[in-house]
Amino acid sequence: MNIVNPVYAEVNFGDKAVNPIAKFDSITVFVNLILPILMIAGGLITLTMLLFGAYQYILSEGNAEKIGKAQSTIVYAIIGLLLVVSSFILTRIIGYVLKVDMPL
C-alpha cells in the first residue's frame, strides 16, 4: 500500500509570473529601469548638497575657513550634477550607436 503519491512538478523560471527576475531579459530593460531612478536620486542629492552648502555659507559669519568649506561643498555638488548629466548623455550616445531602444 502506497500512502504518498509521487509528485512531478516542473517550474519554468523563464516565466515572468513565476520568476520576477525573468522580466530583465536583456541589459536594455535593466538600464531603462535603473537609469531614471539614478537620475532622480542624483538630482535630489545635488539639491540637498547645494542647500547644505548655502546653509554653511550663511552661517559662516565671515570666517574664511567656513566660507571656503561652504564654497567647496557647492562646487562639489555642481561637479556631481555635471557627472550625472554627462553619464546620462553618454548612455544615450551609446544607445544610439548600438541602436538600442531607450525610451528616455
Residue ranges of alpha helices (H) inside 1-104 are 27-58, 64-97
Full-prediction pTM beyond 0.85?
Answer: no
Give the three cell numbers for residue 103: 525610451
Q: What is the mean pLDDT of residues 3-13?
A: 69
pLDDT digit string (tens) for 36-70? 888 899 999 999 999 999 999 999 988 999 999 99
